[in-house]
């Protein structure tokens, strides 16, 4: 391998520049691998600013920190501003999500935090591409404008820090407490500080912290914040070092957005991005037409199923009378189960690990509902029409309710397992599925009982 870097910095400079210009970040990352911290620092000193930022960002986490510490303060801020530049962000934004995950190791927390500081919301969004936090992660929603304190500081010292940040911090009411190496080891509230004596140390008055990593989903972090009634939740990197905070008002906004998405998708409609009256009629139509078409294609299945039994229908037309009642009841039972389980998942009460238990419970619930409704249905139809029709309707209701509740209950969990929003896969989808299978069950039972 003739292009393998040797210890001559000039050679390395040439080969690195070539790789940066080629845009092959993966090859560049491999190329940098064998260099030690000293050599990497020397290399950085000779590169133009944009190249510096790209090379620096591709270093493994440990090396990034030791290289950074070797640089002069001026070079350090060049790297930071290089990482904040729009063209550098574009380069990393172009990465495939899978590549991104393994090429971009975490940036050390101290740098990540410094990089995010003082940016506008739009600049911060660019920077998130560089930091590598995935879409939907709380890393993209957190704020770096926190006030932190240390275990060894006194209450008086911490109050000084609060006063110093009173104009720029996102919140001054919750302070993450750090040890000497930036690990989050506690939290104190401004109220705790006011309750305490000025000479007490933070270690004496701090509480156990609830934290989430920047890679956790924003919904999960938001719920951790609101469930505990926290005014701010510290966000850490994978080594439990502070990188930002999520404040309760942002948490509420995240959850509200999720609720809208869930409720919309359960109704088979894409969530609107704007208030109802600000959305043009044309946009309302497009938010609904795709789902309607998909569901109509699914419903075409019922036409197929009924075609199979057309002879049976022609012989006993009365069977057609009960079709909407039966599939309606099946659809409602399925919706109920899906609604209950989807909501329980949103609240964190039910997870993938509970699949077997949800299956068992919903099977029992569906069977119970089927027996109750089936008995009523059999009785009424038996009296109003014929007893043998009563038997057919009763048995069908039992079977359809059991099937619908079970499918409706487990479907949201299966959706989550295959990485789809549970709400997408939910009510209208279940209705369509239950319609088709319910009809098959109905006609099979009818043919057996009526001897057609």
Asked if 190 touches a copy of itself (CB under 8 A), the answer is yes
Among 27, 156, 252, 420, indicate the residue that binds a copy of itself (CB under 8 A): 252
Vertex 111 angle, CA 105 and 117, to 5°: 125
Among 70, 332, 450, 452, indicate the residue that binds a copy of itself (CB under 8 A): 332
Q: 109 or 423, CB closer to a copy of itself?
A: 423
Q: 54 or 147, CB closer to a copy of itself?
A: 147
- How many angstroms separate the most distant Cα atoms in the chain? 97
Q: Which of 140, 138, 276 is nearest to 218 (CA)?
A: 138
Residue 148 token pair = 């932190």
Residue 121 token pair = 């919301």
CB burial readout 329-352, b (16+ within 10 A) else e: bbbbbbbbbbbbbbbbbbeeebee
Least Å from the CB of residue 36 to a copy of itself: 47
Residue 317 token pair = 């037309």
Q: Which of 206, 252, 205 is nearest to 230 (CA)?
A: 252
Among 66, 339, 359, 391, indicate the residue that binds a copy of itself (CB under 8 A): 339
> What part of residues 386-445 is at the interface with a copy of itself (CB under 8 A)?
427-428, 431-432, 435, 439
Q: 58 or 400, CB closer to a copy of itself?
A: 400
Q: The tokens 């989808």 sit on which residue?
A: 429
Q: 156 or 380, CB closer to a copy of itself?
A: 380
Among 285, 352, 379, 420, indicate the residue that binds a copy of itself (CB under 8 A): 285
Least Å from the CB of residue 150 to a copy of itself: 20
Among 365, 399, 411, 446, indicate the residue that binds a copy of itself (CB under 8 A): 365
Residue 126 token pair = 């660019």
How big is the chain by its Cα radius of gyration, in Å?
30
> What part of residues 257-276 is at the interface with a copy of itself (CB under 8 A)?
259-260, 262-264, 266-269, 272, 275-276
Q: Which of 103, 120, 177, 181 is nearest to 146 (CA)?
A: 177
Residues 6+ apart with CB under 8 A from 66: 37
Residue 212, SS3 per DSSP: strand
Among 34, 118, 328, 387, indicate the residue that binds a copy of itself (CB under 8 A): 328
**What DSSP state is assigned to residue 266?**
H
**Span near a copy of itself by CB under 8 A; candidates 4-12, 29-37, 63-71, 283-291:** 283-291
Q: How far apart are CA 129 and CA 91, in angstroms?
A: 9
Binding mask 227-246 vs a copy of itself (x if CB under 8 A, - otherwise)? --x-x---------------
Q: 148 or 302, CB closer to a copy of itself?
A: 302
Task: List C-alpha distances in Å: 11 to 21, 47, 54, 95.
Answer: 16, 13, 19, 27
**Span near a copy of itself by CB under 8 A; candidates 28-36, 103-111, 145-153, 376-384:** 376-384
Least Å from the CB of residue 220 to a copy of itself: 15
Residue 10 token pair = 């000039």
Among 14, 27, 86, 318, indicate the residue that binds a copy of itself (CB under 8 A): 318
Among 86, 101, 156, 372, indicate the residue that binds a copy of itself (CB under 8 A): 372
# chain residues binding a copy of itself, by CB under 8 A: 95
Asked if 200 touches a copy of itself (CB under 8 A), the answer is no
Q: How far apart are CA 359 and CA 418, in angstroms?
A: 17
- Say how many residues make up the chain: 452
Residue 337 token pair = 């189960």
Asked if 121 touches a copy of itself (CB under 8 A), the answer is no
Among 27, 86, 289, 420, indicate the residue that binds a copy of itself (CB under 8 A): 289
């Amino acid at each position: 391998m003739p292009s393998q870097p040797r210890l001559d910095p000039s050679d390395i400079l040439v080969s690195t520049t070539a790789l940066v210009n080629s845009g092959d970040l993966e090859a560049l990352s491999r190329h940098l691998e064998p260099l030690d911290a000293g050599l990497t620092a020397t290399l950085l000193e000779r590169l133009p600013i944009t190249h510096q930022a790209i090379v620096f960002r591709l270093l493994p986490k440990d090396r990034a920190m030791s290289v950074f510490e070797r640089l002069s303060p001026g070079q350090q801020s060049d790297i930071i501003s290089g990482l904040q530049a729009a063209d550098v962000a574009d380069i990393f934004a172009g990465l495939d999500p899978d590549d991104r995950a393994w090429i971009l190791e975490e940036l050390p927390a101290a740098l990540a935090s410094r990089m995010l500081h003082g940016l506008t919301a739009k600049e911060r969004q660019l920077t998130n591409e560089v930091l590598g936090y995935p879409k939907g992660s709380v890393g993209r929603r957190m704020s770096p404008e926190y006030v932190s304190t240390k275990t060894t500081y006194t209450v008086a010292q911490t109050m000084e820090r609060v006063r110093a940040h009173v104009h720029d911090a996102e919140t001054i009411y919750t302070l993450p407490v750090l040890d000497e190496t930036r690990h989050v080891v506690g939290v104190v509230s401004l109220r705790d500080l006011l309750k305490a004596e000025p000479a007490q140390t933070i270690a004496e008055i701090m509480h156990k912290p609830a934290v989430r990593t920047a890679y956790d989903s924003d919904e999960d972090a938001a719920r951790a914040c609101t469930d505990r009634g926290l005014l701010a939740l510290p966000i850490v990197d994978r080594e439990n070092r502070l990188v930002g905070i999520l404040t309760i008002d942002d948490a509420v906004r995240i959850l509200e957005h999720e609720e809208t998405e869930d409720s919309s998708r359960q109704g088979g409609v894409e969530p609107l991005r704007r208030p109802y009256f600000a959305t043009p009629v044309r946009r309302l139509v497009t938010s609904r037409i795709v789902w309607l078409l998909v569901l109509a294609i699914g419903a075409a299945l019922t036409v197929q199923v009924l075609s199979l039994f057309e002879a049976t229908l022609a012989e006993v037309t009365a069977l057609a009378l009960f079709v909407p009642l039966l599939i309606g009841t099946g659809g409602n039972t399925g919706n109920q189960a899906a609604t209950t389980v989807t909501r329980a998942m949103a609240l964190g009460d039910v997870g993938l690990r509970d699949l077997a238990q949800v299956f068992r419970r919903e099977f029992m619930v569906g069977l119970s509902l089927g027996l109750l409704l089936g008995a009523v249905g059999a009785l009424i139809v038996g009296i109003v029409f014929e007893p043998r029709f009563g038997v057919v309707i009763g048995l069908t209701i039992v079977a359809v309710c059991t099937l619908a509740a079970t499918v409706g209950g487990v479907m949201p969990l299966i959706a989550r397992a295959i990485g789809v929003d549970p709400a997408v896969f939910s009510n209208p989808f279940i209705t369509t599925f239950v319609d088709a299978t319910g009809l098959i069950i109905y006609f099979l039972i009818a043919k057996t009982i009526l001897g057609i």
